[in-house]
Amino acid sequence: MPPRTANPSARQTELLEASYRYALTHGLAELSLRPLAQAIGSSTRVLMFLFESKDGLVRALLERARQDELEILAPLRQADRPVGLATGADRVWAWLAAPAHRPLLKLWAEAYTRSLVETDGAWSGFAARTVQDWLDVLALCQPEPERDTETGRVRRTAALAVLRGALLDLLATGDELRVTTAVHYQLTLLRSDEN
């Protein structure tokens, strides 16, 4: 039976959005359907019907978070006019460092680490998909002659490692100035490789 999320109804979309807002505040690790349903004005039966199971709802929420992540990266998807890897990474960091985005990024960090531990079920493959999403976008920031080279792959992997490591540090400490200074230092080194 195909999942009901393939062609969601208006009610399913409404409840998914409400559940997503709830998850941004409360996280997903200890998600319980009864408090969620009460908070969003629904019932566990309706959620189970629309999403088939708790895992189905978690999968839908992870995909919804991934959509937000891809929207963040959309302005950088200009293969015909690449901005350069360092500039693209700098723009991504500016978004990541903005305090308004912390709820989404905490949810991302929770899902990312959980998918590393729980390799089956709802969390399966989330981390690997997000790594590939980000690498694909960073590739489009690179000039075409560099994009498909081994050096190009190494450089965007290094940029992604800096961004993800800095993001985790920022989420853990809230020390935006220190972490942003370190990111800019690394991006200066990356820019020097572009010249």
CA distance to 73, 89, 177, per residue, from 86 (Å):
14, 5, 19
pLDDT bin (cut points 50, 70, 90) of residue 7 is confident
The DSSP secondary structure of 96-132, one letter per residue, reads HH-GGGHHHHHHHHHHHHHHHH--SGGGTTHHHHHHH
Q: Are 140 and 91 in contact (CB under 8 A)?
A: no
pLDDT bin (cut points 50, 70, 90) of residue 77 is low
Residue 6's pLDDT is 62
pLDDT bin (cut points 50, 70, 90) of residue 79 is low
Give the residue carrying structure tokens 């080279």.
149
Residue 8's pLDDT is 76
Residue 65's pLDDT is 85
**Structural domains of the chain, count:** 1
| Domain-embedded: residue 2 | no
| Domain-embedded: residue 28 | yes
Q: Which helix (H) or strand (E) holds 20?
A: helix 10-26
- Please enumerate in sequence order all residues whose Cβ is within 8 A of that of 71, keeping only pairs 6 or more positions apart, or say none: none
Structure-token pair, residue 149: 């080279």
| Domain-embedded: residue 151 | yes
Q: How far is CA 137 from the centre of its chain?
A: 12
Structure-token pair, residue 185: 């230092």
| Domain-embedded: residue 142 | yes
Structural domain including 147 reads: 10-194
Q: What does the pLDDT average to over 72-85? A: 76
Structure-token pair, residue 93: 């960091």
Of 64-68, 110-114, 157-161, 184-188, minimum mean pLDDT range = 64-68
| Domain-embedded: residue 4 | no
CATH of the domain at 103: 1.10.357.10
Q: What does the pLDDT average to over 107-124? A: 88
Residue 22's pLDDT is 92
150 or 11, greater pLDDT? 150
* pTM of the entire predicted model: 0.81
| Domain-embedded: residue 80 | yes
| Domain-embedded: residue 118 | yes
Give the residue carrying structure tokens 């081994």.
150
Q: What does the pLDDT average to over 5-14? A: 80
How many distinct helices (H) and strands (E) make up the chain? 10, 0
pLDDT > 70: percent of the chain? 94
> pLDDT at residue 168 above 90?
yes
| Domain-embedded: residue 144 | yes
